[in-house]
Chain A
Amino acid sequence: MTTTLAPAYQQLMTDLSAVVGSRYVLWRPEELMLYEYDGSALDMARPDIVVVPNSTAEVAQVVRIAAQAGFPVVARGGGTGLSGGSVPAAGGVVVSTSRMHRVLAVDEVARTARVQPGLINTDLSEYTLPWDLHFAPDPSSQKASTIGGNSAENAGGPHCLKYGITTNHVLAATVVLANGEILELDNTAPDRPGYDLLGVIVGSEGTLGLVTELTVRLMPNPESVKTFLAIFDDLDSASQTVSAIIGQGVIPAALEMLEGQGIALVEQSVHAGYPLDAQAVLLIEIDGMDEEIDDETRRIEYICQHFEARELRAAKDEDQRKKLWAGRKGALAACARLAPHYHIQDGVVPRSRLTEVLQLTREVAKRQRVHIVNIFHAGDGNLHPLLLFDIREEGIIERAIAASEEILKACVDAGGTISGEHGIGIEKRDYMAWLFNDDDLWAMRQMRACFDAVGVMNPCKLIPTGASCGDIKAARGGAKALAAGAWI
């Protein structure tokens, strides 16, 4: 080995190797490169070192060593995040949870599971299948994203319309704090005295501590599931149908929309039977007891007819149902057919304002000359405008970012928010001021300081920090993007 390392760095490597074993300390540039991005691809930063610990005790020691050496600590699960949450913006030690991927216990009576954070989302539901139980949060990345990452970002997914987002499903967590202390937060005994620290840990994007174990809620698998594809010749009718379904009190398990070019792109990729010439399609799934299915089917049929759906098609069997969902969940990858690079947004609007905001995205796309495809969680007003472009085109990045900002601003102006499930991370940090004033952000900073006064845990994320992380801004200008392999 000819590489010469700085003594402080060499010391850090030695200390970390003593904890996790040298095999699980990565430091060569070609190894570190793999950890410099997530699914959002707009923000990249290389870690100084990556460790792959195997237990809470190891994580605690790693954090203590890193903090003492003055290195930030950033947790990383599947690396599928869409807001830069696991990108080490200020460098430092990335803690990969990939070896901590076990189900520790399932309690059939309490309907809970104790799991490690590196467990892949779908692996949990597969594991609990014998008990007819599943983990409800189902981000489209679920085949690759981890429960730890889902918890950090407070992930959603199509079925959170009926079953709630990750925060509604996390009951307890073991958290390693910035000083290496281990904190056990347990809401399994309800209404325990003390402030609800678990409530702020979930969704804190790794900025308060590093979660090393979780107890999550499991839901019984429904008696029946029915999935419809509703096909529309115009966008307005489709969005009015969404508003009517919710407004009339039907809460489907999922209510997703694909519109415009996205439909054909998805169909060419998965061949699920999406009509190539439709302007909008709704993927509507209902679940529950047989009687509920009958009742909701009637009401959905009536509403779709009222808003002149061209056709309402029910999946005939599990195979067809899976195909319809494969189209939806693989939508982002399918859109790579249109252009090699993308930028995805995550704004939310009140469901009654869907029509106007969707119209606006079309106008913006035209004005800024970018392709925008909307494939999104219509039932809870969570838009995912997918901006598609080729970065080799002159000025396209600036136009794409301008388009994206205009759409997000419109979501805020309509009474919505800038992120429904992807998190703020680096990407939307500077937009927080659209929603929160100085006092609001002060309260958040103060709260964060109670967990981590020095800024060890995932610095430069979530809250605007001003000049100290100015290097991140520069990285953003580079706007590097991926072609495929992420999910929305």
Chain B
Amino acid sequence: MHQPQSITELAELVRTIDGPITPRGAGLHQQLGNSAAPTATTIDCTQLNHVHDYIASDLTITVGAGISLGALQDLLRNHNQWLPWDAPQAQQASVAGLLATGLSGPLRHGYGSPRDWLLGMRFVTGDGRIIKSGGKVVKNVAGYDLHKLHIGALGTLGIIAEVSFKVAPIPQADQSLQIACTSLAEAHALAYALRQRPFNPSAVLIDAHDGQVTLWVRWLGVNGAVARQLADARHKAPQAKVAEKGDWQTLTQRPFSTGHGTQLRIGVAPQQLPQVYAVLMTQIPDAHLQVMPTVGLVRAYCQNAPDVAALRRVLTPFDGYAVVEIGTDDNRWGPAPAGVGMMQALKQSWDPAGKLNPGRYIV
């Protein structure tokens, strides 16, 4: 295993290593994707963890992408700032790894995904070139947004080495409720009722297992605005109980934690969800579900291996997809996406020898 200390060293390594390469951050989400080539050389990027540029008054930061998200948040917190990104295992996982795996959490409802916060990147291609795209300022349309291509690409297009983000001030108030519901449909309807104009929560998650359905809602912002929304929620759901920050940590730790045989990621346009719940109840009735009802993202944790092919068939009319994030099913990604020919051409041109994580992704 190699541990480059700089982006130049990383590029040099990629050039000299003959054969497949597995880029690695904290190594917490390596189950994701098809198996790595048995002969692959691992490049551990966690030493690329320097803060290159942090201008707190500009609300922007540039860091080595091997830094853990936890360390990055600690740094920002000193200036009363944060990156509203509550990805699974956010404390230890590296920023590069979380971008490459495309992971995010329930804050996505209120703040968007990391794609919306990422300003620029430096990455190393399969032939060892260091490529820059985007920049460090909050607004920039110079050149193609190549950095977006790496989000969720499992390091197959390049190794993410340095990233620039815009960041946000930490809000005054941070309050959460947990609301017991009788069904997914009820929880879903309540989630939408709580975001009726002018209200808007910052995070929404439905957690459903063993017949228990709970809607978790978090409000961040100005004290008075949070208080009014909390009162509205208590009025609409008198059974609501106060939830703590730690509860969110537990909830966002569930993906990629041990104890479930299969973990699926299911995505549909959010307006399709009410119908998709019925499908999930039939296809994977015993699964533990975590749903972002306004985003359209579902994680299903199953003890027994589900029939993924059948699930994909019934999701097709909803234009949905299912990815096997952890499990034994050979077809982890499902059918080829639109434009796969162009994706393959791009992979070929940036990584002509096919060094970067070959075979792990859909491309």
Contacts and interface: CB of A to CB of B under 8 A. Distances in A.
B198 A443 contact: no
A223 interface: yes
Given A110-B270, A110-B271, A440-B133, A200 B145 contact: yes
Interface in B108-144: 112-113, 115-116, 125, 129-133, 135-144
Q: How large is the interface on B (under 10, 10 to 19, 20 to 34, 35 or more residues)?
A: 35 or more
A449 B102 CA distance: 26
A382 B140 CA distance: 9
Interface in B324-363: 333-334, 336-340, 342-343, 345-346, 349-350, 361-363
Interface string A130-170: 00100000000000000000000110100010001101100
Contacts of A292: 221-222, 224-225
Contacts of B133: 440, 443-444
B74 interface: no
Interface in B284-336: 295-297, 319-321, 323, 333-334, 336
B145 A167 contact: yes
Contact of B148 (A107, A196, A248, A295): A196
B63 to A, nearest CB: 15
A443 B55 contact: no
A195 B363 contact: yes
B346 A447 contact: yes
Given A189-B269, A194-B338, A450-B349, A352 B57 contact: yes
A214 to B, nearest CB: 15
Given A200-B146, A424-B143, A189 B339 contact: no
Contacts of B340: 194
A190 B296 contact: yes
A419 B134 CA distance: 11
Contacts of B192: 109
A345 interface: no
Interface stretch (A4-12, A69-77, A178-186): A178-186
A246 B333 contact: no
A455 interface: no
A243 interface: yes
Interface in B34-59: 53, 55-59
B57 A246 contact: yes
B203 to A, nearest CB: 15
Given A192-B337, A194-B363, A199-B145, A439 B271 contact: no
B143 A223 contact: no
Contacts of B113: 190
Interface in B142-170: 142-146, 148-149, 151-153, 157, 168-170
Contact of A189 (B144, B146, B320): B320
B132 A200 contact: no
B337 A381 contact: no
B260 interface: no
Contact of A193 (B57, B225, B271, B333): B333
Contacts of A348: 135, 137-140
Interface residues of A, number: 87
B323 A435 contact: no
A3 to B, nearest CB: 41
B60 interface: yes
A289 B173 CA distance: 14
B223 A439 contact: no
A300 B340 CA distance: 50
Given A203-B144, A381-B137, A350 B198 contact: no
A440 B135 CA distance: 12
Given A186-B319, A249-B169, A416-B137, A446 B346 contact: yes
Given A220-B200, A439-B130, A194 B339 contact: yes
A443 B131 contact: yes
Given A110-B270, A110-B271, A380-B138, A443 B146 contact: yes
Contacts of B157: 195
Given A223-B198, A443-B146, A417 B225 contact: no
A416 B142 CA distance: 11
A113 to B, nearest CB: 13
Nearest to B147: A199
Contacts of B265: 191
Given A185-B339, A348-B137, A416-B135, A194 B362 contact: yes
Nearest to A351: B58
A203 B98 CA distance: 25
A217 B148 CA distance: 18
Nearest to B172: A295
B31 interface: no
Interface in A210-227: 220-223
B228 interface: yes
Contacts of A164: 112, 116
A418 interface: yes
A380 B222 CA distance: 22
A193 B146 contact: no
Kindly name the residue among B53, B139, B320, B321 whose own CB sees the greatest number of chain A CB atoms within 10 A: B139
B225 A435 contact: no
A439 B53 CA distance: 23
Contact of B296 (A189, A199, A200): A189
Given A193-B362, A195-B153, A450-B346, A444 B144 contact: yes
B115 A352 contact: no
Contacts of A197: 149, 339, 342-343
Contacts of A422: 141
B80 interface: yes
B237 interface: no
Given A204-B144, A248-B169, A443-B350, 18 more contacts: A109-B270, A110-B269, A110-B270, A167-B145, A193-B362, A197-B342, A197-B343, A249-B169, A251-B168, A289-B199, A352-B55, A352-B57, A381-B58, A415-B53, A416-B137, A424-B143, A439-B129, A443-B146
Nearest first, the 4 A-B pairs at minimum CB distance are A249-B169, A291-B224, A199-B148, A194-B337
28 contacts: A109-B270, A110-B269, A156-B141, A168-B112, A183-B338, A186-B319, A191-B102, A192-B267, A194-B339, A195-B157, A196-B151, A200-B145, A246-B59, A251-B169, A291-B222, A291-B223, A291-B228, A292-B225, A350-B58, A377-B139, A381-B139, A415-B53, A419-B140, A432-B143, A435-B142, A443-B350, A447-B349, A451-B342
Interface of B: 53, 55-60, 80-81, 102, 112-113, 115-116, 125, 129-133, 135-146, 148-149, 151-153, 157, 168-170, 172, 192, 197-200, 221-225, 227-228, 265, 267-271, 295-297, 319-321, 323, 333-334, 336-340, 342-343, 345-346, 349-350, 361-363
